[in-house]
Structure 1
Amino acid sequence: MIKIKNKELKKPIFQGGMGVGVSLSGLAGAVAKAGGAGTISAAQIGFLDPEFDKDPFEANLRAIKSEFDKARKISKDGIIGFNIMVAMQHYEEYVRAAVKAGTDFLVCGAGLPVDLPKIVANAMEEMDQSVEAPALAPVVSTEKSARVIFRYWEKKHHCAPDFVIIEGPLAGGHLGFAKDQLSYYTFDVYEKEVRNIIKVCREYAARFNKEIPVVLAGGISTKEAADHAFSLGADAIQAATRFVTTYECDASDAFKKAYLDASKEDIILIDSPVGLPGRAVRNKFSDTIMSGGRIAPVRCRGCLKNCRPDKIPYCITDALITSVTGDAKNGLVFCGADAWRCDHLEYAEDVIESLLS
């Protein structure tokens, strides 16, 4: 049984964090109430705040606290955490805000969270000493990245992750692979990578005399895929795409309909403004960008590091907000490889049951 902040995870499933605004308090709270681990995406989390355009940073800080409190109210004593990308501007400030909000766990990817333990420790020093620190989980995609994080945390912070999420090449949104790697990693090839990452986790678990559960993510949309993940040695699975077409998902009905209407051929790879490949549903927006078009940013809301507004083909914040709030044809609709399998709306509890029954 996986324990997070002394709470038992009743169902071995994590709901993946999806931004902007796809997994907020509604979805995360529902998943946690059903026994899984609900994850709130911190990516531009305050986009509905009336002051967001004026000061997105402060709006996001307020929303981290308010969304967590709402999710906690829904889930009662369920497990609620945050996904905070290392690539985000103000990453450290958002981590501290999540810790102070009372998050049960932090999942950090889109970069190597090498200093996450230090950031959390500093935040904890400013709090009531009776409060327990959140569980920390890096997202890795290769054995190499796993070893880098484990070695760094051991050397600099004298600790190891509390659990690890392996995100495979079939995942949605920003991917931790170059495009040529996505073609290289066939099912069999990546299965070997997964086993190697798990071996690293078990090695450090023995070294630190602690459990380090492994959560496998990417393309897990059926019970067969979930069963296979467990057969590889995973302690839990992470699913995201299947939770989009739930009644509790925080995205608009139009966003969900884009999944329901998509065919297998509609699932494409698109470059994000910072050069990372991402998986999305094909629409008018993606056709424009992939044909070399440019949609000039109206304003910069400071979402990602290393983003140059005068050079990028489109603003990812604008594109994601457009789709999640209802215009799924003229915005970016991130998805997983199996989005085309979604054919009806269901409840989050039913998704969990279908994957783990």
Structure 2
Amino acid sequence: MYKPLKIGNLIAKLPVIQGGMGVGISLSSLAGAVSAQGGIGVISTAQIGFTEPDFDVNPLKANLRMIGEHIKMARKLAPKGVLGVNIMVATQNYASYVKEAIKSGIDLIISGAGLPMELPSIAKESQTKLVPIVSSLKAANVIFKMWDKKDNTVPDAIIIEGPKAGGHLGFKPEELEDISLPDYDKEIEKIIELTKGYEAKYEKEIPVIIAGGIENKADMEHYLSLGAEGIQVATKFVTTKECDADIKYKEAYINCKEEDIIIVKSPVGMPGRAIRNKFMERAALGRIPVRKCHNCIIPCNPATTPYCITDALTNAAKGNLDEALLFCGANAYKETRIRTVKEVLADYFG
């Protein structure tokens, strides 16, 4: 038996968080299913309103509306479960997304793709738990120091996202090619040690959750033995019946080979891991002009961006694979069939 994952007064029966995947990959169906099984289900807010009729006219309005709708739908699937949202720091109008999620009664906010320095001040006086994502001791140190100094608080939990994770990664491209996992274990242990110091100062438990390429029970037990309280899993949930993505997106994972998984340049300004396809081959040859700006991320300049990340990711969610950015984790090629969320969780807890 494994200890439940406790984040403040939130208790998840299983010590697993389902990673947030946007655009449109982890919405209410997947998050609700994971939560109903005893894990923590996570809705990605990245362009969450992309299917709404007013999205092209007013993406912010459509997105904020659908944050509430998806939280409501996930709650119906898991009325007693724990639910979170993933909000990228790089999101335009970041504070509006945080406030909308809190207003809609979300249990916790997970935030990466940048350091969420303003998150405590935006979320102050709410009961929502705040969980930053880091990939290095340096990043963890900055967050702890700044939250402590500026807001007299610390995270409710922290997620360490390793080099095998999918989506946007907190590493330099060359690190993703060269980094060895035993060396990264040392980084994890240093972050856990740092966290313990702040636990003592605030007399508060701050669970550390590990993410990135955690394939099975043995992998999970390895990280728990280092001092982690839980794991975050994303890629393995893509090929589930409950995942919100189009079946063609799921089949891209099932059909890909290890050599098809590459490191790509993202308009967010961070490297990412994705499946090689016609779109990525075109992007490698030169800039793909933006037809319409959706005001999604702060670092993006429509005149110079290598491609529109909103269009690329919404195409992925809709199954238009030749025009899509297919984000994935390093082990996506290991997923060979469509399963249920319950079956995926059995890889760890069966």
- TM > 0.5: yes
1:316 aligns with 2:323: no
Query: Are 2:292 and 1:299 aligned?
Result: yes
Verify the 8 A CA contact 1:4 1:79 in the aligned structure 2: no
The residue that corresponds to 1:10 in the other structure is 13
Which one of 337, 343, 346 corresponds to residue 350 of structure 1? Answer: 343
Q: Contact 2:7–2:207 (CA<8 Å) still a contact in 1?
A: no
The structural deviation recorded for 1:218 is: 0.5
1:29-83 Cα deviation digits (max 9, x unpaired): 0000000000000100000111000000000000000000000001111001100
Contact 1:30–1:38 (CA under 8 A) maintained in structure 2 = yes
What is the CA–CA distance in structure 1 between the aligned matches of 2:85 and 2:156, rounded to whole Å? 15
User: What is the CA–CA distance in structure 2 between the aligned matches of 1:334 and 1:172, rounded to whole Å?
Assistant: 6
Match of 1:37 among 33, 37, 40: 40
- Say if 2:177 is the partner of 1:183: yes
Distance 1:66 1:163 in 2: 26
How far does residue 293 in structure 1 lie from its aligned partner after superposition? 2.7
Following superposition, the deviation at residue 305 of structure 1 comes to: 0.4
Separation of aligned partners in 2, 1:231 and 1:75 = 30
The SS at the match of 2:323 is: coil
Give CA deviations for 1:273-304 in whole Å, capped at 9, x if unaligned: 233111001111111112x2332111000011
| Letter of the structure 1 residue corresponding to residue 218 of structure 2 | E
Partner of 1:117: 120
Task: Identify which of 135, 155, 175 aligns with 1:161.
Answer: 155
1:23 aligns with 2:26: yes
Deviation beyond 3 Å, 4+ runs, structure 1: none
Task: Please say if residues 5 and 134 of structure 1, whose CA atoms lie closer than 8 Å, have aligned partners that are also in contact.
Answer: no
Q: Distance in 2 between the 1:263 and 1:222 partners?
A: 19
For 2:181 and 2:216, the matched residues in 1 are separated by 16
Q: For 1:107, what is the secondary structure of its paired residue? A: strand
What TM-score does the superposition give when structure 2 sets the normalisation length? 0.97
TM-aligned CA deviation for residue 183 of structure 1 = 3.2
Compare 281-290 and 221-230 and name the one that shifted more: 221-230
Q: Secondary structure at the match of 2:322?
A: coil
The AA in structure 2 aligned to 1:163 is A
Percent identity at matched positions? 48
Correspondence for 2:211 among 213, 217, 224: 217
Tell me the residue number matched to 2:164.
Answer: 170
Unmatched 5+ residue regions in structure 2? none
1:139–1:164 CA contact under 8 A, matched in 2: yes
Structure 2 residue aligned with 1:51: 54
CA RMSD, aligned part only? Answer: 1.1
SS in 2 for 1:54: coil
Cα distance in 2 for partners of 1:240, 1:137 equals 16
- Once the two structures are TM-superposed, the CA of residue 7 in structure 1 deviates from its matched residue by 3.2
Unaligned 5+ residue runs, structure 1? 125-132
CA contact (8 A) 2:87 2:110 kept: yes
- Counterpart amino acid of 1:65? G
Say whether residues 1:332 and 2:325 are aligned partners: yes
Which is worse superposed, 21-30 or 1-10? 1-10
